[in-house]
Amino acid sequence: MRSVFTADRLWDGHTVVESPVIVAEDGRIVSIASQTAAAIPGGELHAFPGLTLGPAFFDVHIHGSAGHDVMEATPAALLTIGKFLAKRGVGAYLATTVTAPMDATLRSLNGLAKLIEKAPEGAQTWPIGIHLEGPFLSHAKRGVHPPDLLLAPQIDIFDKMFEAAQGHVRLMTLAPELPGAAELAAHAAAKGVRVSVGHSNATAAETAPVLAAGATSATHTFNAMRALDHREPGILGVVLTRDDLFAELICDGIHTAPELVRLWWKAKGAERGILITDGMAAAGMPDGEYMLGGFPVQVADGRATANGVLAGSVLTLDRALKNFIEFTGATVENGLRLLGANPAAMTGFSDRAGSVAVGQPANLVVVDAAGRLVQSIHMGALV
């Protein structure tokens, strides 16, 4: 089946195409042209006048949604999560773990690996890798990660997790101040794992060796990090001033105030900013109690907390885009970059996410000038 998509503009992940014509067949893009250079071909036409087409979103930090946690690692859980995310414009994500007993973590990683390698029939949005958020985190900045399950960085334990995940670990959060952190960062990087600094009380000096060992990003900037001080800039000062570091942000107006979103945007810019959700099972669900990994989280009025501490979010990436443009005044194209091209570049998945190109799955979003999601398109079909 052939589908044809037109709009005022296309942000393809690299540049703007005016009056685009995108043709998809059997779920993949077969041609991209401009109406000024080509007639609209035959097929089922979906026209979006006054709007912008862009690549589907890529969330590198999400624990779950629609009542399910990725650590359940079952087809039913991931199918439900994927269906919800597809409606919200997400085309791919990293299934993100939370600190748990090691045997439970290994079971989840093995289950996720099998599902990543073979998605069930009818699956929509699906994980393309795994993000390990824990257990190599700081006790001082652990957030809601169980303190008795946190571990010092150990290469042999990381290797057990990497092997259980059958090599599908693509991102790992690591606190730089922990003994052995630099050695583990170098070891993980050599295996193709991107290291993200976070859940950390590190000073600027303590942060440097892990960056030198290959860390490339920062986990939910501002949250679970040593506060910025004019005499000790700490990990946050390093993250905001290093031009080579990517940096995540939860743009929900709860985890980070609009003024700090603007500071982050000025510091990281269009090339290094990454918008995430840190979403958990309660995303898309009514207020109540939900699980994050192995512990309960209470959700009320848009806040997810455990023992009074923020525990992930109920944010969705479409809402993050709208918030970001509202808070900063950035262009839609810049916002789309933070949700697609940048996370894809950071994780090394640019061939599978973050751009619109011939041969790739026809996973697209349609947004207005304010960044509101108008339509999600999955494998060439309207969601």
Alpha carbon of 199 to those of 2, 205, 260, 274: distances in Å? Answer: 47, 16, 18, 17
Which positions ≥6 away from 266 have C-beta within 8 Å? none
Whether the CA torsion 67, 71, 77, 79 is positive or negative: it is positive
Angle between helices 258-272 and 234-241 (to 10 degrees): 50
Whole-angstrom Cα distance, residue 168 to residue 193? 9
Q: How far is CA 62 from CA 177, 282, 317, 360, in A?
A: 25, 12, 10, 23
Q: Are 216 and 245 in contact (CB under 8 A)?
A: yes
Q: Which residue numbers are catalytic?
A: 278
What is the spatial distance between Cα 235 and Cα 181, in angstroms, rounded to a whole number?
A: 14
Q: How far apart are CA 90 and CA 332, in angstroms?
A: 16
Give the angle subtended at the CA of 321 by the CAs of 3 and 67, to the nearest 5°.
85
DSSP string covering 140-166: TT-TTS-GGG-----HHHHHHHHHHTT
d(CA 172, CA 181): 12
User: Which helix H or strand E contains 232, and what residues bound it?
Assistant: none
- The rounded distance, in Å, linking the Cα atoms of 221 and 236 is 7
CB 35 within 8 A of CB 75: no
| 3-class SS shares of the chain: helix, strand, coil, % to 5 | 30, 30, 40
- Cα–Cα distance between 293 and 69 in angstroms, integer? 7
The residue written with tokens 């390698």 in the block is 117
